Structure 1
Amino acid sequence: MNLDALIIALDNGLRTVLTPAHSVRPLPGKDLPDAELGEAEKKHAAGLMRINHVGEVCAQALYQGQALTARNPAAKTALAEAAQEETEHLAWCEARINALGGRKSLLNPVWYASSLAIGMAAGALGDKWNLGFLAETERQVGAHLASHLTELPEADAKSRAVVAQMQIDEARHAETALAHGGEALPMPVQGVMQLMSKVMTKTAYWV
């Protein structure tokens, strides 16, 4: 890890937390009609999309941290490609939050910094565990997205379209990580990750 890589990581962090993200792919559901939602439905949908946005902030930091310490060039490439799609997810979630009259999490700098540290630690353990951590992270994110599809208001087709496409992408990221040599994490580690994820989602819904 050299100074240039650290400068790039800092720049990416500032961009993720402080500036709007941009997507190459079109926003899923952009051509669907806007739904007539009550205030409670809007607030709930915005809270769920804020959780998803925080998840993408964390994903950016995790990928950045893992890429800094990954040793295998193929692993670095896989991480970079997945990170690009996570940037698109960031943009999609932000668009839905704005449309629903919500706001992004006030704790995004904290989420980013803590996830960057975790990503760097995972990368330092070696590529098989680095990629295994990535696969497990994406698996758990996919489970959250599936639950959000049951919680989002049925009429909010635009948010549901975003979440559904994100779910497809996350599953592919997990498969890619395993295909590049990722190892399944021990059950206790998976349990700790699930506990940390619950804390994040409960907090991000409100803050």
Structure 2
Amino acid sequence: MTRQFSFLDQALIGADRGLKTLIKGSAKAARAMPQAKPSQADGTAAARQSEAQRRHTAGLMRINHTGEVCAQALYQGQALTAKSAQVREAMAQSAIEEVDHLAWCETRLKELGAHTSHLNPLFYAASFTIGAVAGAIGDSVSLGFVAATEDQVCEHLKEHLAALPKEDEKTRVVLSQMLEDEAEHASKAMSAGGLAFPLPVKKVMTLMSKVMTKTTYHV
């Protein structure tokens, strides 16, 4: 039988997951980080990358890492206020699956000698609030918000894949797997009864995401 948690229990669990999201090194992936073929990830290919290219890749991965921080916060906020137990469980499961991405991005940033964004706590707080509000409005809105958000993440990942230096297969295989997972999450949310958001709402979400990408690329 599935254990029923009180609102306080859920809040404490969410706080614990929030700390694990924001504290460096706390995220532990359940799946192994995708690896490029040895012939593609050898030292020669890495050596061909200029310092400017490495900084650019690090900036892209910092954006992706913050995106995963926001995803964790969004799911935790939605799980806290979701109307049905089924949706709460779905949000909690999605958050667990996204931990892989969080850990992979952090690992790749370390390999590039770069840091995660200093703005992550602010984006976590904002995303948690948005998720909690969406969950309180209703499950269809909450699920629709997940789908719309994941669609935007997929677009960012496609852009980043196109912008990567061709020699950087180590980053490419990670982003490719993330893209596949995010597309699946969006599809599942809509299949579960998510509301299709109108274009004006999606445009506002796009503008908000641009604020995140522009700031976290450098900071």
Report the TM-score range of the alignment, normalised by the length of the smaller protein: over 0.9
Distance 1:80 1:9 in 2: 10
Distance 1:51 1:147 in 2: 12
Alignment correspondent of 2:8: 3
Alignment partner for residue 147 of structure 1, among 159, 164, 180? 159
Alignment correspondent of 1:179: 191
Equivalent position SS for 2:217: helix
Alignment correspondent of 2:134: 122
Alignment correspondent of 1:23: 29
Distance 1:97 1:30 in 2: 16
Structure 1 pair 129–136 and aligned structure 2 pair: CA distance change class (3 A):
same
Distance 1:107 1:13 in 2: 14
Counterpart contact for 1:78–1:176, Cα < 8 Å: no
TM-score by length of 2: 0.91
Amino acid aligned to 1:79: M
TM-score by length of 1: 0.96
User: Counterparts of 1:161-180 in structure 2 under 5 Å?
Assistant: 161-180=173-192
Amino acid aligned to 2:214: K
Equivalent position SS for 1:22: coil
Report how many aligned residue pairs link the two structures.
Answer: 207
Flag the structure with larger Rg: 2
Equivalent position SS for 1:206: coil
Distance 2:160 2:138 in 1: 33
Compare 194-203 and 24-33 and name the one that shifted more.
Answer: 24-33
Counterpart contact for 2:36–2:169, Cα < 8 Å: no
> Deviation at 1:30?
5.6
Distance 1:82 1:148 in 2: 23
In the alignment, structure 2 segments of 5+ residues that lack a partner are 1-5
> Deviation at 1:159?
0.4
User: Counterparts of 1:37-186 in structure 2 under 5 Å?
Assistant: 37-186=49-198
In the alignment, structure 1 segments of 5+ residues that lack a partner are none
Deviations for 1:166-192, whole angstroms, at most 9, x for unmatched residues?
A: 000000000110111001012221111
